């Protein structure tokens, strides 16, 4: 089936006429923006959607909107604070109670360039939430994901990974001055390296793992830097939410991606390598972000921080 989608395609167009009846989809950070839009179109296609968020009130409001769109929508909600490992573990246990088999996991939630914050363990908040929370959640859910094979994991990253690699010697800014964008870039690099490592570990288990750059999208993600107006005025293409959610939905369901794993996707397609140092946070991916040795090193660091090993 030819891919005729592009950067202007919507999540509904990416889904097409695919029937998700009987499928369980877990989406983090689904109380607004890309997560909610992904949940909307996938619930509308018959999926049992499990959505997470930090506010029960916001989760309840999303459920109401989803059922207004699709009266028969099957939706469960789970409270989750990704930056706090104990919250992640509790949420993962709850998800497994709801769904012993998980067909699709979309690690959608994220924060961008906040002031310096640390979690209860002293981890820098962007590394803690954007990477470590999803690392621990995915690790605990792996048996349910493998049980549903062929299944898929989608990790949201960003071209912001071009700003900075993972600083393995000081990932929590304990010995260097905090820079919100360096920290963001590091966390987004970690999302890709995590994808590479996990894709390799699961390549013979029937589970594919891909990273997604959704684009510059009008969502609350940009609240710490004044919104998307300045970025849009620079000439970058700014997407509406249905366009921004398209690539992650495509990654989650498209027949074009059967068996495709360990890739970096954008605009409903395969992103090119972009190693031009003058081109920062624009398009494509740095080849260093796909380095298998760095990916293995991140996996080891993440297990050390989590205090547990995950059976893949």
Residues annotated as part of the active site: 178
C-alpha to C-alpha distances, 18 to 41, 99, 105, 226, 250, nearest whole angstrom: 11, 21, 17, 37, 11
188 three-class SS: helix
Distance CA 161, CA 291 (A): 13
Intra-chain end-to-end CA distance of the chain, in Å: 31
Angle at 88 between CA 82 and CA 94, to 5 degrees: 130
48: which strand partners? Answer: 24, 74
Tokens describing residue 217:
């999208």
Distance CA 66, CA 69 (A): 5
Distance CA 238, CA 8 (A): 10
Q: What's the length of the chain? A: 312
Beta strands in 127-172 (DSSP E): 151-156
Where is 48: in which H helix or E strand?
A: strand 48-53
């Amino acid at each position: 089936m030819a891919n005729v989608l592009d950067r202007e395609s919507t999540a509904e167009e990416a889904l097409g006429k695919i029937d998700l009846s009987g499928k369980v989809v877990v989406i983090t950070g689904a109380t607004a923006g890309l997560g909610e839009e992904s949940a909307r179109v996938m619930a509308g296609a018959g999926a049992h959607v499990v959505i997470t968020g930090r506010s029960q009130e916001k989760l309840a409001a999303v459920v109401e909107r989803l059922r207004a769109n699709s009266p028969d929508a099957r939706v469960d909600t789970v409270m989750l604070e990704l930056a706090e490992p104990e919250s992640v573990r509790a949420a993962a246990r709850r998800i497994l109670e709801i769904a012993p088999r998980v067909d699709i996991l979309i690690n959608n939630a994220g924060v961008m360039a906040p002031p310096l914050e640390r979690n209860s363990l002293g981890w820098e908040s962007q590394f803690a939430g954007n990477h470590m929370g999803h690392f621990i959640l995915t690790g605990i859910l792996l048996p349910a994901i493998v049980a549903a094979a062929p299944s898929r994991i989608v990790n949201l990253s960003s071209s912001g990974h071009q700003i900075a690699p993972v600083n393995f010697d000081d990932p929590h800014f304990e010995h260097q001055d905090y820079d919100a964008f360096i920290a963001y870039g590091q966390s987004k690099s970690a999302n890709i390296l995590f994808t590479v490592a996990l894709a390799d570990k699961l390549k013979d288990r029937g589970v594919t793992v891909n990273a997604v750059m959704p684009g510059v999208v009008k969502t609350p993600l940009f609240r710490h830097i004044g919104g998307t107006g300045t970025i849009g005025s620079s000439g970058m293409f700014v997407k509406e939410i249905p366009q921004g959610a398209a690539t992650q939905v495509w990654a989650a369901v498209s027949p074009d991606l059967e068996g495709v794993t360990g890739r970096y996707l954008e605009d409903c397609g395969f992103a090119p390598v972009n190693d031009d140092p003058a081109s920062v946070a624009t398009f494509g991916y740095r080849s260093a972000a796909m380095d298998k040795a760095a990916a293995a090193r991140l996996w080891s660091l993440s297990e050390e921080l989590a205090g547990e090993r995950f059976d893949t």
